[in-house]
Amino acid sequence: MTSNVGIQIPSRLPLLLTHEGVLLPGSTMRISVDTPRNMHLVRSRLLKGTSLKSTIIGVIPNTRDPEHDTDDLPTLHSIGTAGMAVQVVGSNWPKPHYTLLITGVCRFRVSGLLKERPFPLAEVEQLDKLEQYTTPATEGVTAEDGELGELSQRFYQAAVQLVGMLDMSVPVVAKLKRLLDSLPRETLPDVVASMIRTSNKEKLQVLDAVSLEERFRKTLPMLTRQIEGLKLLQKTRKPRLDDDKRVLSVRKSGGFPGRQFSLEDEGEDEDGDDTAALERKVHGANMPEAAFRVCLKELKRLKKMPQSMPEYALTRNYLDLMVELPWSKSTKDCLDIRAARILLDNDHYAMDKLKRRVLEYLAVRQLKTSLKGPILCFVGPPGVGKTSVGRSIARTLGREFHRIALGGVCDQSDIRGHRRTYVGSMPGRIINGLKTVGVNNPVFLLDEVDKLGKSLQGDPAAALLEVLDPEQNHSFTDHYLNVAFDLSQVLFIATANTTATIPPALLDRMEVLQVPGYTQEEKVEIAHRHLIPNQLEQHGLTPQQLQIPQDTTQDVITRYTREAGVRSLERKIGAICRAVAVKVAEGQKVTKPEASAPEGPVQEQGDMAAPPEMPIVIDHIALKDILGPPLFEMEVSERLTLPGVALGLAWTPLGGEIMFVEASRMEGEGQLTLTGQLGDVMKESAHLAISWLRANAKNYQLTNMVGAPDPMEGTDIHLHFPAGAVTKDGPSAGVTIVTCLASLFSGRLVRSDVAMTGEITLRGLVLPVGGIKDKVLAAHRAGVKRVILPKRNEKDLEELPANVRAELDFVTAANLDDVLNAAFDGGFPATTSAHTHPQLISKL
């Protein structure tokens, strides 16, 4: 610093305008340079020059808002600091820029601008007379110094007091003490102002204070404020607490507001404005103590990092996320059970059982505000309204809604985030979701929990367990955040197509609510109450322009869709709307000139020529024209025209399905061939069926091809389950296989309108099976008239809608004899009853 004494600066100086703070004489500052004007200055002046004078440039704080900075030169602040460029570093990352290390020498005033381009050059007048700086501050005050002397003395003493309060074992502090003693007093205010915490605005005031007296007057309050702050800090500081805790304790005691004291190494300029803004946000984010402490630590690191370092962006992103997370922001629940009931009923037709359970759940929540209830999991085929019920729940509670799709997630960091050590690391879906909704009590819909995968990267289900467990989720730790976030206010709802593939531990934490498929009638109602009005609105049509009669809807349901839910029905209605929209738009074009035609006889004529305004009604012909030929025909009766075919009912995660079983026989050695992607249980059922039929062949007069009493003698059997791409397994096809083979061995046709389901035993009993409701609905969809099911499944029929029950003929079977009798026209008589057991005769 003292080496600057006596320097005479050139009368013409190139000017560097910077947003990065205020350079004061006697301090050193790092300035990042990237504007074209400043880059030019560095290149043609600093890098090319050879003399000492060429390293001196004028640094002027740019007072224009950086966001509104334009190409033209802003009005120059009249006072600047001549600085000596000590170091110039260039880099191309992330964009070309230079970083200058500049030491302030003295103030100057701009007396005239000589040129603006390529960089500003100005005529300047040196303000600080460096050659007169001779009086060391340590010297006492003489009488002729007057007020200035007194001021400077007070200032010096305050500075000594401040340094005395600091920890002398820190090297910078020791350096500072030495500096204070050797500096001429004229430089004291500048040097001290650049070292203590002052805002850029305050520094600008110091720069503008040209007279020494004024400068002392301006800086003294800043210095005293700093001393007061430090005193307060020391009062609240507990022994051996680290820096962060020190700051924290001040915050908690409500003490020294805003900025905290810190002495920065090497006199570097403090954080730029945006770091300061970030710091303010950290203080305002209302986060828990642990998170706050981590943020402060990261902030501290950030301030020390040059912006060009890749880690700067990482740390910055992390802090941005931390301040954005809704640590303590939440929406207020507005739960009114009556309103909730109305809303659920309005949004969804049918699904009474589900709606009832959801209302119960909400009612309990209203009475008991703690959230430690079970997690609801809606299980059912696609398109039955699981997601949309979830959305309604959020609406009734007045909460934000967010859907997290889990299908195909096979990496636990998808849920829990990546550690920040990875390049491109990011938080998991839960934290991301919270950031998106901006409150800490949203409704999260975990969609498709049954499709979670597993891989080498860990099991995502295990991570979900932690999320869903009310005992643990108040301190959920995302790997990226690395601090706990309280998830206990989040309402989780899960959906799945089947419970079979949900990991058991996860299933254990959820209450499963089955959402079965819809009947044809329910679908028609849903279409007319919800889907058609929605689609009309989405396509900009009105009911006056398009009408879809119930008959047509029914046709769409049976001949163009085959599903348990209503998603493809909705798509088909969308297709009809699109086709009609074209017609309506064309029609409007034609009628336009008429509309603008002048009044009078001409218009009358036009009116008569135009077709009358009428809704477009979609009848069967229009339907075929729009959707093409029907995709599904009633194939049941067509396929049951040969012996050896029977119709079974299967349950799949996508709802119930009808399933054909075909059998044929040929000469051979009694072998059984099975095709159609079958599981082990299915193969066993086939063997069981054959054994039972062989055992009872005599009773039912079953024969082989040439009429021998053993149907397998000299015969090979081939059983086929069409739709080979789908894996089929489960015991419920047992009765169908028996019926199919009985038809083959007897040469009789199975009734074309019968479908069946049931497990068999070797003794010919029929055991109950699952999924009856879905299976019966599938049979009803396919136009079957009679359904054969196990006797012990009779109770499941109560769940069926009344109209389905009325339209179908149910035969409950306790044994295979009952099944065969119901499956064939005129029964399937046995000579002696197949299932009668030999009478026990007492030996007594």
- Give residue for tokens 């975990």: 446
CA distance 440 to 434: 6
Q: For residue 642, what is the enclosing H or E element?
A: none
CB 188 within 8 A of CB 156: yes
Taking the C-alpha atoms of residue 827 and residue 754, their distance in angstroms, rounded to an integer, is: 13
Radius of gyration of the chain (CA): 43
Residues in the chain: 844
What residue is closest to ligand ADP based on CB? 385
The DSSP symbol for 702 reads -
Residues near ligand ADP (CB under 6 A) are: 348-351, 382-388, 495, 526, 530, 565-567, 570
Which residue in 452, 470, 448, 367 sits closest to 414, CA to CA? Answer: 452
CB 674, CB 686: distance < 8 Å? yes
Q: For residues 664 and 644, is the Cβ–Cβ distance under 8 A?
A: yes
Q: Which is nearest to 282 in space by CA: 295, 301, 297?
A: 295
Exposure b/e, 198-217, CB count within 10 A at least 16 = b: bbbebbbbbbebeebeebbb
| Cα–Cα distances in angstroms (integers) from residue 496 to residues 526, 727, 770, in the given order | 22, 19, 18
Cα–Cα dist 390/345, whole Å: 14
52 Ramachandran zone, left/alpha/beta (phi>0; psi -120 to 50): alpha
Return the C-alpha torsion angle 467, 469, 475, 476, nearest 10. -10
Secondary structure in 3-state letters for 354-408: HHHHHHHHHHHHHHCCCCCCCEEEEECCCCCCHHHHHHHHHHHHCCCEEEEECCC
As to burial, measured by CB atoms within 10 angstroms (0-12 exposed, 13-18 middle, 19+ buried), residue 769 is buried
Determine the Cα–Cα distance for residues 447 and 462; give it in Å rounded to an integer.
16
Q: Read out DSSP for 542-607?
A: -TTTEE--HHHHHHIIIII---SSSHHHHHHHHHHHHHHHHHHHHHHHHHHHHHHSPSSHHHHHHH
| Amino acid type, 236 | T
Rounded CA separation 193/208 (Å): 13
Q: Which residues of 340-366 are buried (b: 16+ CB within 10 A; e: fewer)?
A: bbeebeebbbbbeebbeebbebbeebe
Tokens representing 416 are 């829990």
> Which residues belong to the active site?
732, 775
Cα 704 to Cα 697: distance, rounded to the nearest angstrom:
10
- Strand (E) or helix (H) holding 777: helix 772-781
Beta strands in 282-379 (DSSP E): 375-379
- Which helix (H) or strand (E) element contains residue 827? none
